[in-house]
Structure 1
């Protein structure tokens, strides 16, 4: 609370005031609801990382190594396509019911994935799971805006970002543990008890206002862009393996993709609320960032999908330990993304990070290509760490520079657009990595096994379908087959390195414009989530200003406000005047009981405002004098000006009315907490003349 800040100088400035459209719930109910939303977010976030270490075992059990990539891609494509629809439908028909529906779809998909009997079933059920997962993501973050006022949103939405950081670490470990000690099916079944709890709590506790916001939903545009992405991924995953590159099927998919892309462009030009406004591509920074985001998603998810296969099949480590071996990459990513975000926030300089990040990512891919069955654990960990370091350097900053490059009205769609391309890159990368791996493995196994006597039932196809067959090979043949597996996987990274190098070249063409202060607070959900982030421009600015306000919610903020207004008051005196202005009167003795500010601080503040004629006693209460009302008004104006400065060029003469409203709300919320509001409101808002 802001009162804590006055006491110890390092608290946050959050308060618990109602804002427009915010449900008036008891604080305990809000916290329980937030907890249930976090559980829903946890399910969707965990499902993006927990499956990777289980994939080798899934393939061995169900067969179909060449289709391994689709276990990941089906989820990514479905959640990416569904995300914008969930957001707008939630606005239009109420978020609570939609969120419950998303949980139900996700749980049904999870149960069916756990019960799948072949790879085709698992892929189909993963797509169903992805449809629900997209809703869990976007609706859980949107509901936070319904539950808490603007001043608090940065704090609570920061928790959702932390969930992604945590699942990046825990996902591979939990996937390995369940696979090794229970079954790979528990990777999906574990969602059921957690989801049921979230569903029950949401039904019983969550009460949010019904506010219908009408949208012209771009169903056709959403379908077309999903269809184009699916065609690209099908070409990448089936070309050269299931069908030849010159086959009628592949050529037909390419032609269909081009036709659908043309139709998408035509539809988006006329759509009232396009899913991806074409005007964004006229902004050079957005276009370059979109391409770089695509490459980062390509490299990150492609590697995260196939590195566990390398560790388990080639290195022979257990599923659990493969999760442990993945941690250096995750730590490198979290470390560099956090540090780069902090440096950008403090300095406003950002161009070095996409340049350095794409360069280090390229080096990391080349290092991963050097791995083989004889590589030491230390070398493997070091290469993983370098690769993660490169990804983290660029992921955080790409969102910031896109937000900085567009007008306020395009802020929401530009953010979701940048993260959309990362999602499509992830789907494409997993598919391309899978195609290269399957193609190289088939060729290399055929060369190794040609003319060799093999046990009954063992051949190239059986070894591709089930890596456990390697254990049944003659000892003289086993090392060559392991090397074929190792080199097939690491060749993937060699093919990916030129793609990352293209991103490195493009990064040099980014123009380093001065950052608005309001876009120097990146969100973990925008950085680590695999599917697009959907927030309106208003919600995005609200989140950023709230987070910045919390960071600045120390004692010093009252000093700056006071100085800006031209007074030499104690910080606590300014705080007291603002509270009194908001509530009409203040009883210092009661305020001491209801806040964490020490008694002597409040006494000194009260004495100063009385001695200077800014407030007068009316019984035990303080009320503002005419002069005090003027001072308090100037203090509030100074706070409004401070917030407006953070908005930069968005705060122009033609600024939208919702920005005015947001600044007014945040200004009022800084002045005092409704949780500590006097009970006897009828005592009025009198001013002593």
Structure 2
């Protein structure tokens, strides 16, 4: 493994001043995450209010991720053709309209369609936000910026469900309307505070990098780079583990194996988030100083081993401890992954399809992971299902071994 370049060539992240626009995007991410968290605990119950079973209610939840996956390539194309800012605003407004429509759904199928359409807008603003962060983040602080952005989402996802539970007591439609209103405010925030990004009128380095037109990095060129192929594999592994297995299998394991109630599953999800948040306080800075590759490989190892061990915990205490360790692993690799993609694209280029493909790798893992785990649980037990997450992480670890650390090119 190559050693990181010296501090004379790469100043410490703390010495790099972040553009004001980065802080606007971080604030917007927090508002979006709170809104999403408000809706998350209500959505399955709202679906079941139309006299459908658990499986049908779960399909409504999955529809959002499915449409994100299907329409991610379109989002990449839109970013390259219309720019990040316009794509971001339009995507946010689509999700707002979808959420408001869900509140007025008259039957299950309307709810399914309206919720699914929101996934189109979600992938649009997600890809666009990554593009804006790449354009604006100083190369020496890409890991730190990724930590700030991911941390804002994490805090919003922690706070949102508590607010959503309170609002649900006033009617299950209200959280959807509150979410829609929050998204409209986000669209106004971005439209009024980031106009110079598209027009290139601000003075200074960040605005020069963000000004159009930009050279587009073709996806086929990015795929020739071992580091980009490796980050696609780790994105898939993280999606499989952190967003797939954790959300689908952990609650069932808590009930079926530990004999615990839903509150134990909820605590487990919370401590996973706490572990992730703890890692984000330092993992971004380390990705900027030590390198991307060491952090991603460490994250894969920690998360992969912990997820495999989770299926063999025999009591609630160890269940919580191992869940926190798994979350720590996810937090170790997250900022370094986004920084790697940013290094591949660079500040002077646009890479909508490159960004969209990276997002798709995580979404694909989040979709396939629960299905494969469910098959293993039915055929064997929970242990092999959790060990599959370890196997996927190991495969990604092997992809990273020959890859060059992209920080070396800065």
Give the TM-score of the pair, scaled to structure 1. 0.45
When residues 390 and 177 of structure 1 are mapped into structure 2, their CA distance, relative to the original with a 3 A threshold, is farther
Distance 1:38 1:423 in 2: 22
* Structure 1 partner of 2:114: 125
1:510 matches 2:387: no
CA deviation profile, 1:255-287 (whole Å, cap 9, x unmatched)? xxxxxxxxxxxxxxxxx975x42x544444433
1:495 to 365, 374, 385: 385
Distance 1:380 1:110, change over 3 A: same
Q: 1:156 to 1:59 in 2, by over 3 A?
A: same
- The corresponding residue for 1:336 is 279
Query: Which one is further off, 415-424 or 507-516?
Result: 507-516
**What is the alpha-carbon distance in structure 2 between the residues aligned to residue 296 and residue 149 of structure 1?**
23
Query: In structure 2, what is the equivalent of residue 390 of structure 1?
Result: 329
Change over 3 Å in CA distance of 1:130–1:414 after alignment to 2 = closer
Q: Which residue of 2 aligns with 1:292?
A: 234
Compare 132-141 and 100-109 and name the one that shifted more: 132-141
Q: Which residue in 1 is equivalent to 2:55?
A: 66
Question: Alpha carbons of 1:402 and 1:383: their partners in 2 closer, same or farther (altered >3 Å)?
Answer: same
User: Match for residue 327 of structure 1?
Assistant: 270
Aligned to 1:679: none
Q: CA contact under 8 A between 1:88 and 1:215: conserved in structure 2?
A: no
What is residue 104 of structure 1 aligned with on the other side? Answer: 93
Quickly say closer, same or farther: Cα 1:310–1:48, change in 2 above 3 A.
farther
Change (3 A) 1:493 1:118: farther
Is it true that 1:197 corresponds to 2:197 in the alignment?
no
Any idea what SS the aligned residue of 1:190 has? Answer: helix
Distance in 1, matches of 2:131 and 2:345, equals 22
Counterpart residue number, 2:5: none
Deviation at 1:421, TM superposition (A): 1.0
2:302 aligned residue:
360
Q: C-alpha separation between the residues in 1 aligned to 2:99 and 2:157?
A: 20
| Equivalent in 368, 375, 380 of residue 428 of structure 1 | 368
Q: Tell whether the 8 Å contact from 1:362 to 1:501 is kept in structure 2 after alignment.
A: yes
Cα gap change, 1:193/1:74 in structure 2, threshold over 3 Å: closer, same or farther?
A: same
CA contact (8 A) 1:349 1:512 kept: no
How far did 1:163 drift?
A: 2.0
Give a deviation string over 1:574-629, Cα, whole Å, max 9, x none.
Answer: xxxxxxxxxxxxxxxxxxxxxxxxxxxxxxxxxxxxxxxxxxxxxxxxxxxxxxxx
Q: Distance in 2 between matches of 1:132 and 1:342?
A: 31
Provide the alpha-carbon RMSD of the alignment: 4.7
Gaps of 5+ in 2: 1-12, 201-210
CA-to-partner distance for each residue in 1:12-37, whole Å, 9 max, x for gaps?
A: 56498xxxxxxxxxxxxx88x975x5
Q: Larger relative CO (CA 8 A, sep 6+): 1 or 2?
A: 2
CA change 1:414–1:344 in 2 (3 A) is: same
177 and 308 in structure 1: CA distance in 2 versus 1, 3 angstrom threshold? farther
Give, in whole Å, the separation in 2 of the partners of 1:213 and 1:15. Answer: 20
Residue 135 of structure 1 aligns with which residue?
A: 124
Give how far 1:360 is off: 3.4
| Contact kept? 1:145, 1:153, Cα under 8 Å | no
Deviates more, 1:398-407 or 1:360-369: 398-407
Alpha-carbon distance, 1:74 to partner = 2.0
Decide whether aligned partners of structure 1 residues 300 and 205 sit closer, same or farther in structure 2, where only a CA change above 3 A counts: closer
CA distance, structure 2, for counterparts of residue 52 and residue 360 of structure 1: 28
Shift in alpha-carbon separation, 1:328–1:433, aligned structure 2, 3 A: same
State the match for 1:167 in structure 2. 156
Structure possessing the higher radius of gyration over alpha carbons: 1
Q: 1:363 to 1:513 in 2, by over 3 A?
A: closer
Structure 1 residues 203 and 133: CA distance shift in structure 2, 3 A: same
Where does 1:661-676 land on structure 2 (aligned, <5 Å)? none
8 A Cα contact 1:52 1:308, kept in partner: no
State the alpha-carbon separation in 1 of the partners of residues 43 and 141 from structure 2: 37
Aligned ranges 1:29-44 → 2 under 5 Å: 35=24, 40-42=28-30, 44=32
Instruction: Using the TM superposition, give the Cα deviation of residue 75 of structure 1 relative to its aligned residue in structure 2, in angstroms.
Output: 1.6
Cα distance change of structure 1 residues 90 and 64 upon mapping to structure 2, 3 Å threshold: same
Aligned residue in 1 for 2:208: none
Say whether residues 1:316 and 2:257 are aligned partners. Answer: no
TM-superposed CA distance for 1:76, in Å, is: 2.0
- TM-score (normalised: structure 2): 0.70
**What is the alpha-carbon distance in structure 2 between the residues aligned to residue 119 and residue 144 of structure 1?**
38
d(CA) in 1 for partners of 2:112 and 2:83? Answer: 31
